[in-house]
Amino acid sequence: MLTILDLLGTIGGNVLSLPGILGLALGMMTRRLPLGAALGGGVGIFETLVFAGFQLQAIEPLELIVAVVVGVMAGSVGTLIRQKGATV
């Protein structure tokens, strides 16, 4: 049974791991919001596959969903930072 503490740990771990940090960095490389979000989501999928040892049976669906959502959000924030920073 999944507890709230496990869910918060999964979300926090993804924010501080590859989907959060690398998603933000890849999002800052483009000014197109859909592309930045897609790059962040791709990082979330890749990170989940790497930590599961590239075995599809070992992937937890909730971890994959959280990683993709965090990656999309981080990529979007990175793109918005790029757009606002470019106007200075």
pLDDT digits (tens, 9 = 90+) for 16-66: 999 999 999 999 999 999 999 999 999 999 999 999 999 999 999 999 999
pLDDT at position 87 is 67
H-state helical runs in the chain = 4-15, 18-27, 33-51, 61-85
Tokens of 66: 């959280």
CB atoms within 10 A of CB 79: 25
CA–CA dist 37, 24 (Å, integer): 9
CB 9 within 8 A of CB 58: no
When pLDDT is cut at 50, 70 and 90, the band that residue 81 belongs to is: very high
Q: Any idea where the domains of the chain sit in the sequence?
A: 34-48+61-81
**Higher model confidence: residue 41 or residue 1?**
41
Tokens of 71: 């990656």
Global pTM?
0.90
